[in-house]
Chains A and B, each alone.
Chain A
Amino acid sequence: MAHKRLKFLGVAAAVLMVAMACGGSPSGGGGTKQYKIGLVTDIGGLNDKSFNHLAYVGLEKAKSDFGIVDSVTESHSGNDYVPNLTSFASKNYDLVIGVGFLMQEAVGTVSGTFPNIHFAIIDGAGTDSTGKDLQHTNVQSLFFKEQDAGAMVGVISGMLEKQGKAKKNKGVISAVGGVSIPPVNHYIAGYKWAATMEDPGIKVEVGYSNDFTDPAKCQGVAKGQINDGSDILFQVAGGCGLGVLQAAGQAGLYSIGVDADQKAADPSVIASALKKVDVATYTAIQNVVKGQFKSGALTFSIANDGAGYAVDNLTLPADIQAELKTVQDKIKAGTLTPPADIP
Chain B
Amino acid sequence: MPLGSVLLAFVVDGLLVGVTGGNPFAAYGALLCGGFGFICTQGENPVLQISNTIVFVIPLITTGVAVALPFRAGLFNIGAEGQLLAGAIACTAIGIKFSSLPSPILLPMVLIGGMVAGALWAGVAGVLKATIGAHEVVTTIMMNYVAQWFLRYLIVGGPLQLAPGTSKSSPIGAGARLATVLPNDNTLIIFGLPSSVYRVHTGLLIALAAAAIFAFLLWRTSLGYEIRAVGQSQKAARYAGVSVRRTIIVTMLIAGAFSGLAGATEIAGVDHNLTDKYFSDSTGFDAIAVALLGLGSGVGIVLAAILFGALHAGGSVMQADANISGNLVFILQALILFSIAANFVGAIRQRIPGLARPPTALPPEMPPAAPMMTEAAVPPVES
Are A180 and B29 in contact (CB-based, < 8 A)?
no
Are B44 and A77 in contact (CB-based, < 8 A)?
no
Are B41 and A129 in contact (CB-based, < 8 A)?
no
Report A18 CB to chain B, min CB distance, Å: 6
Task: Report B-chain residues with C-beta under 8 Å of the C-beta of A1.
Answer: 354
A154 to B208, CA, bound (A): 59
Nearest CB in chain A to that of B313: its residue? A83
Contacts known (A72-B319, A78-B278); A23 close to B326, Cβ less than 8 A: no
Q: Which of A69-114 contact B (CB under 8 A)?
A: 71-84, 86-88, 90-92, 102, 105, 112-114
Are A20 and B29 in contact (CB-based, < 8 A)?
yes
Nearest CB in chain B to that of A115: its residue? B186
A181 to B161, CA, bound (A): 14
Q: Which of B133-141, B166-174, B223-231 contacts A (4 or more CB under 8 A)?
A: B166-174
Are A20 and B162 in contact (CB-based, < 8 A)?
no
Task: Report A-chain residues with C-beta under 8 Å of the C-beta of B197.
Answer: 86, 90, 113
Contacts known (A91-B44, A180-B164); A72 close to B320, Cβ less than 8 A: yes
| Partner pick for A23 among B39, B55, B164, CB 8 A cutoff | B39
A19 within 8 A of B: yes
Are A38 and B320 in contact (CB-based, < 8 A)?
yes
Q: Which of A1-58 contact B (CB under 8 A)?
A: 1, 15-16, 18-20, 22-25, 38, 43
Contacts known (A15-B25, A23-B30, A74-B319); A87 close to B44, Cβ less than 8 A: yes
Number of residues from B at the complex interface, CB < 8 A? 57
A58 to B194, CA, bound (A): 31
A205 to B279, CA, bound (A): 31
Report B107 CB to chain A, min CB distance, Å: 18
Contacts known (A23-B30, A86-B48, A181-B165); A102 close to B326, Cβ less than 8 A: no
B193 within 8 A of A: yes
Report A102 CB to chain B, min CB distance, Å: 7
Nearest CB in chain B to that of A84: its residue? B316
B83 within 8 A of A: no
A131 within 8 A of B: yes
A337 within 8 A of B: no
A131 to B163, CA, bound (A): 9
Report B269 CB to chain A, min CB distance, Å: 12
Nearest CB in chain B to that of A15: its residue? B25
| Partner pick for A82 among B44, B156, B199, B319, CB 8 A cutoff | B199
Are B315 and A88 in contact (CB-based, < 8 A)?
no
A210 within 8 A of B: yes
Are B277 and A78 in contact (CB-based, < 8 A)?
yes
Are A112 and B186 in contact (CB-based, < 8 A)?
yes
Are B275 and A76 in contact (CB-based, < 8 A)?
no
Task: Report B-chain residues with C-beta under 8 Å of the C-beta of A114.
Answer: 194
Task: Report A-chain residues with C-beta under 8 Å of the C-beta of B171.
Answer: 129-130
Interface flags for B190-218 (1: CB within 8 Å of A; 0: not) read 00011011010000000000000000000
Are A105 and B275 in contact (CB-based, < 8 A)?
yes
Are A19 and B281 in contact (CB-based, < 8 A)?
no
A303 within 8 A of B: no
Report B32 CB to chain A, min CB distance, Å: 9
A179 within 8 A of B: yes
Task: Report B-chain residues with C-beta under 8 Å of the C-beta of A88.
Answer: 320
Nearest CB in chain B to that of A213: its residue? B279
A210 to B312, CA, bound (A): 32
Are A74 and B326 in contact (CB-based, < 8 A)?
yes
Candidate in B164, B270, B281, B316 with the most chain A CB atoms within 10 angstroms? B316
Contacts known (A83-B52, A87-B317); A129 close to B273, Cβ less than 8 A: yes
Are B280 and A43 in contact (CB-based, < 8 A)?
yes
A1 to B279, CA, bound (A): 50
B23 within 8 A of A: yes
Task: Report A-chain residues with C-beta under 8 Å of the C-beta of B317.
Answer: 87
B26 within 8 A of A: yes
Task: Report A-chain residues with C-beta under 8 Å of the C-beta of B44.
Answer: 87, 90-91
Task: Report A-chain residues with C-beta under 8 Å of the C-beta of B232.
Answer: none
A83 to B44, CA, bound (A): 12
Are A80 and B316 in contact (CB-based, < 8 A)?
yes
Are A76 and B326 in contact (CB-based, < 8 A)?
yes
Task: Report A-chain residues with C-beta under 8 Å of the C-beta of B319.
Answer: 72-74
Chosen A-B contacts, 24 in total, with CB atoms closer than 8 Å, are: A15-B25, A20-B29, A20-B41, A22-B23, A23-B321, A25-B41, A43-B280, A72-B319, A72-B320, A73-B320, A73-B326, A74-B316, A78-B279, A83-B316, A86-B197, A87-B48, A88-B320, A91-B42, A91-B44, A92-B43, A113-B197, A114-B194, A129-B168, A181-B165
The 7 A-B residue pairs with the shortest CB-CB distance, nearest first, are A78-B277, A19-B25, A181-B165, A23-B41, A129-B171, A91-B43, A19-B29
- List 14 extra interface pairs beyond A16-B39, A23-B41, CB under 8 A: A22-B29, A71-B323, A76-B315, A76-B330, A78-B275, A78-B278, A79-B312, A83-B316, A86-B52, A87-B316, A112-B186, A130-B170, A131-B168, A210-B156
| Interface set of B (CB-CB < 8 Å, partner A) | 23, 25-26, 28-30, 39, 41-45, 48, 52, 55-56, 156-157, 162-166, 168, 170-171, 186, 193-194, 196-197, 199, 270, 272-273, 275-282, 312-313, 315-317, 319-321, 323, 325-327, 330, 354
